Amino acid sequence: MPNAIKGGVPVIGLLFLSLAVFKFAKGDPWVVWAILGFLFGGFGVFNLRRT
């Protein structure tokens, strides 16, 4: 039963991270968006296993 639930892709975190990259490219303040992306699990996409 412990393997029955698998984590999904953190969509909201990825949205905030992509917004941070977009703001960084434009030269606007981007740090807040990167922090929100981190808090909502956006960096967890780099640890996902593809099995």
Number of Cβ atoms within 10 Å of the Cβ of 33: 21
Say what the pLDDT of residue 1 is: 53
What pTM was computed for the model? 0.71
**Which residues have a Cβ under 8 Å from the Cβ of 32 and sit 6 or more positions away?**
none
Asked if residue 46 lies in contact with residue 13, where contact means CB atoms within 8 angstroms, the answer is no
**What dihedral angle (degrees, nearest 10) is formed by the CA atoms of 35, 44, 7, 48?**
160
Give the per-residue pLDDT at 29. Answer: 93
pLDDT tens-place string over residues 1-51: 566 556 667 788 889 889 999 999 999 999 999 999 888 887 777 666 655
Tokens 């996409």 sit at which residue?
A: 45
What does the pLDDT read at residue 27? 94
Interhelix angle 31-39/11-26, rounded to 10 degrees, is: 170
